[in-house]
C-alpha cells in the first residue's frame, strides 16, 4: 500500500487514482478515513481528474501516533504528502474536520500548489464558543463527545451514525450499510487520536487561515447540519473570503458526501472544471 513518511516517522496512507488530469485532494472528517471519499474519488477519476485521498494520522491505515493529534501537524502531514507527490494546481476538498485541515494547510504553507479550495460541511471558522466567538457551541458539547469517546466509543459512533451525522434521526433515508461504514471507519481510528482530534476540530481558530485564502473558494453546507451548524460555520466562512461561492443544501445533513452524493459530485465537478 502507498505511504509517505513524515519527519517524525509517521506513515500516512494515501490513495492516488486516475490519470494525468488536474489533481483533487480529498480530506476526510472525524473519526473517518479516506474510504469516506471513495465514491467521490471514483467519480472524479472517471471524469478525467487525478483523485488523491489520505488517512489522517491516527486514522484508518496511517500510524496511530501518540502525539501530533492537532491541526498544525495535520496540515504539515498534508504538506508532506503534496510535496512527495509533487502535485501543483491541486483543488483541495475537505469535509468537516478535513475542511479545517485543508484550510489550515493554506494558512500555514501557502497556496503555491493550490488552484482552488472547497469546504464541505466544514468546521471553520471556529466551532467552540469563546469571548470573541459568542455564536459558537458551548464547550460542554465537545466535553460530551469526549466523554462518549472515553466511555464507549463504539456506541458513540453507532449513535452518531444512526442519529445526527446523516440526519437519520430526522427521517433521512440513509441505508444501514452507509451507517455501518461510518461505525467501522471510526473504530479503525486510534482511540487517543480520535479523542485528541475532538479538540483539533472544535477549538482551532481558523479565522486567520480564512484571511490567507487567495484562491477561489467554494463553501457547501447543509442548512440542517446538526454536527457543524451552518450559521456558525459555512455561512461565516463564505462571508469571510471575498468572492467566495456559497451553496446551501436545503435540509442537508452533515454527511453530504453520502446523503447528497449526486448533487455534491455535480457541484464539485462544475467548480473544479470552471
pTM for this structure? 0.98
254: annotated active-site residue? yes
Pick from 27, 236, 9: which is nearest to 114 by CA?
Answer: 27
pLDDT in tens, 187-245: 999 999 999 999 999 999 999 999 999 999 999 999 999 999 999 999 999 999 999 99
140: annotated active-site residue? no
Q: Which one from 35, 77, 209, 225 is the annotated catalytic residue?
A: 225
Q: Are β-strands 11-17 and 3-5 bridged in parallel, bridged antiparallel, or unpaired? A: antiparallel
pLDDT in tens, 15-26: 999 988 999 999
Contacts (Cβ under 8 Å, ≥6 apart) of 161: 168, 179, 180, 182, 183
Q: Any idea of the CA torsion for 159, 154, 165, 92, to the nearest 10 degrees?
A: 170
| Residues facing residue 116 across a β-bridge | 91
Please give the grid coordinates belonging to residue 30.
472525524
Q: Which one from 28, 254, 260, 267 is the annotated catalytic residue?
A: 254
The CATH number covering residue 32 comes to 3.40.50.1820
Q: How far is CA 274 from the centre of its chain?
A: 23
Half-sphere exposure of 146 (CA within 13 A, CB side): 15
What is the total count of domains within the chain? Answer: 1
Kind and range of the H or E run holding 180: helix 176-187
Range of the domain at 159: 3-273
28: annotated active-site residue? no
Amino acid at each position: 500500500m502507498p505511504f509517505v513518511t513524515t519527519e517524525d516517522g509517521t506513515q500516512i496512507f494515501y490513495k492516488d487514482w486516475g490519470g494525468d488530469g488536474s489533481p483533487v485532494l480529498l480530506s476526510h472528517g472525524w473519526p473517518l478515513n479516506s474510504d469516506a471519499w471513495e465514491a467521490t474519488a471514483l467519480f472524479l477519476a472517471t471524469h478525467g481528474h487525478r483523485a488523491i485521498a489520505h488517512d489522517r494520522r491516527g486514522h484508518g491505515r496511517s500510524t496511530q501516533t501518540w502525539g501530533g493529534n492537532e491541526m498544525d501537524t495535520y496540515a504539515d502531514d498534508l504538506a508532506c504528502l503534496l510535496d512527495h507527490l509533487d502535485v501543483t494546481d491541486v483543488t483541495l476538498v475537505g469535509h468537516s474536520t478535513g475542511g479545517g485541515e485543508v484550510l489550515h494547510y493554506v494558512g500555514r504553507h501557502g497556496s503555491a500548489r493550490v488552484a482552488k479550495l472547497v469546504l464541505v460541511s466544514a468546521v471553520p471558522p471556529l466551532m467552540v464558543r469563546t469571548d470573541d466567538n459568542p455564536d459558537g457551541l458551548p464547550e460542554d458539547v465537545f466535553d460530551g463527545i469526549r466523554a462518549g469517546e472515553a466511555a464507549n466509543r463504539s456506541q458513540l459512533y453507532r449513535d452518531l451514525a444512526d442519529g445526527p451525522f446523516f440526519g437519520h434521526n430526522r427521517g433521512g433515508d440513509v441505508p444501514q450499510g452507509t451507517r455501518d461504514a461510518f461505525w467501522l471507519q471510526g473504530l479503525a481510528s486510534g482511540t487517543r487520536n480520535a479523542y485528541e482530534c475532538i479538540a483539533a476540530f472544535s477549538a482551532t481558530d481558523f479565522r486567520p487561515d480564512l484571511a490567507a485564502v487567495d484562491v477561489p473558494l467554494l463553501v457547501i453546507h447543509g442548512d440542517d447540519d446538526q454536527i457543524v451548524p451552518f450559521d456558525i460555520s459555512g455561512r461565516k466562512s463564505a462571508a469571510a473570503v471575498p468572492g467566495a461561492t456559497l451553496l446551501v443544501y436545503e435540509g442537508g445533513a452533515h454527511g453530504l458526501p453520502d446523503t447528497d452524493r449526486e448533487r455534491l459530485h455535480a457541484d464539485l465537478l462544475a467548480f473544479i472544471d470552471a
